[in-house]
Amino acid sequence: MSLNRFVRQLNPIQENKTNYVNIVKTFVIESSLSKSQLEKPAGKGPNSGTPRIEIFAKKIADGEDHILNDGNTIKITEITMNGEVYGKNDMDKLIKDFDDVESIKITNPETAWSKVAKTPEYGGEGGGQKISTSTQELMTAAIVLGGKKYDSTEITVDDAKKL
């Protein structure tokens, strides 16, 4: 006669629920630009060693698109830093004033920093359809834990986003 059944009644198994969506979100945000990211130089890629604020300002001055994490693009035309507004023609001043930055926002079009991808030109891997390796591993683990099977040739990017 086994006592396991009675032991479980006295000392039930405690399971901790892990919110995998929140864990994956932290890795997705990792591929976004932010004030702290702009303070660093690009670590790799075509602009390796160039301060990210200079890359960012040049793209605005040249009227280039910025890629968002969802794959869309925007043309940033105005930045507000420490309460002062910087337009397309003020990017040299923005770079010079950036040493004393306390707050910086994208104000035209108004966009959260978390939406702007840290693309290869900034030394990152984000933007568009590219997903970081860490996120891919977490997604794979979540699929395995979910018990579903997918054929890699049949799953689309939209299906992966839904997952």
pLDDT for 79: 95
pLDDT for 57: 95
| Contact status, residue 59 vs residue 38, Cβ threshold 8 Å | no
Instruction: Please tell me the number of Cα atoms within 13 Å of 102 on its side-chain side.
Output: 3
Is 101 among the domain residues? yes
Return the beta strands (E) in the chain as ranges.
66-67, 73-74, 78-81, 84-87, 104-108, 110-111
Instruction: Give the whole-angstrom CA distance, residue 163 versus residue 160.
Output: 5
Q: How confident is the model at residue 86 (pLDDT cuts 50, 70, 90)?
A: very high
Q: What total number of domains does the chain contain?
A: 1
Is 7 among the domain residues? no
| Contact status, residue 70 vs residue 25, Cβ threshold 8 Å | no
Is 5 among the domain residues? no
| Contact status, residue 24 vs residue 135, Cβ threshold 8 Å | yes
Please write the tens of the pLDDT for every residue from 8-64: 666 666 666 776 666 655 554 446 788 888 988 988 888 888 999 999 999 999 999
Tell me which residue range forms the domain holding 87.
17-162
pLDDT for 58: 95
Please write the tens of the pLDDT for every residue from 92-145: 999 999 988 889 999 999 999 988 888 888 887 655 455 667 777 777 777 778
Is 8 among the domain residues? no
Is 130 among the domain residues? yes
Please write the tens of the pLDDT for every residue from 89-105: 999 999 999 988 889 99
Give per-residue burial for 37-71: e unless 16+ CB within 10 Å, then b: bbeeebeeeebeebbbbbbbbebbbeeeebbbbee
Please write the tens of the pLDDT for every residue from 3-19: 666 666 666 666 667 76
Is 158 among the domain residues? yes
Is 67 among the domain residues? yes
